[in-house]
Chains A and B, each alone.
Chain A
Amino acid sequence: ELKVEQNPLFLSMQEGKNYTIYCNYSTTSDRLYWYRQDPGKSLESLFVLLSNGAVKQEGRLMASLDTKARLSTLHITAAVHDLSATYFCAVDMSRTASKLTFGTGTRLQVTL
Chain B
Amino acid sequence: DAGVIQSPRHEVTEMGQEVTLRCKPISGHDYLFWYRQTMMRGLELLIYFNNNVPIDDSGMPEDRFSAKMPNASFSTLKIQPSEPRDSAVYFCASSLALRGTQYFGPGTRLLVL
- Chain A positions near chain B (C-beta within 8 angstroms): 31, 33, 35, 41-45, 48, 88, 90, 92, 95-105
Is B104 in contact with A98, judged by CB distance below 8 angstroms? Answer: no
Q: Does B106 count as interface, using CB distance less than 8 angstroms?
A: yes
Q: Give the interface size bracket for B toward A.
A: 20 to 34
User: CA of A44 to CA of B3 in the docked complex: distance in angstroms?
Assistant: 11
Instruction: Among A31, A44, A88, point to the contact of B99 (Cβ < 8 A).
Output: A31
Binds A, one of B20-28, B40-48, B66-74, B78-86: B40-48
User: CA of A45 to CA of B50 in the docked complex: distance in angstroms?
Assistant: 21
User: CA of A35 to CA of B101 in the docked complex: distance in angstroms?
Assistant: 10
Interface of chain A, helix or strand or loop or mixed? strand
Sample of 13 A–B contacts (CB below 8 Å): A41-B106, A42-B91, A42-B106, A90-B43, A95-B99, A97-B98, A98-B48, A98-B50, A100-B102, A102-B42, A102-B43, A103-B42, A105-B42
CB nearest to B92 among chain A residues: A42
User: CA of A95 to CA of B98 in the docked complex: distance in angstroms?
Assistant: 9
Contact with A along B90-105 (1 / 0, CB 8 A): 0101010011111111
Is A45 in contact with B42, judged by CB distance below 8 angstroms? Answer: no
> What chain B residues lie within 8 Å of A88 (beta carbons)?
43
Is A98 in contact with B95, judged by CB distance below 8 angstroms? Answer: yes
Q: Known contacts A42-B91, A102-B43; decide if A33 and B48 are in contact (CB<8 Å).
A: no
> What chain A residues lie within 8 Å of B55 (beta carbons)?
97-98
Is B31 in contact with A98, judged by CB distance below 8 angstroms? Answer: yes
Is B101 in contact with A48, judged by CB distance below 8 angstroms? Answer: yes
Q: Which 7 A-B pairs have the closest CB atoms?
A: A102-B43, A43-B104, A42-B104, A42-B106, A45-B101, A98-B98, A98-B99
> What chain A residues lie within 8 Å of B104 (beta carbons)?
35, 42-44
User: CA of A97 to CA of B107 in the docked complex: distance in angstroms?
Assistant: 23
Closest Cβ–Cβ distance, residue B9 to chain A (whole Å): 10
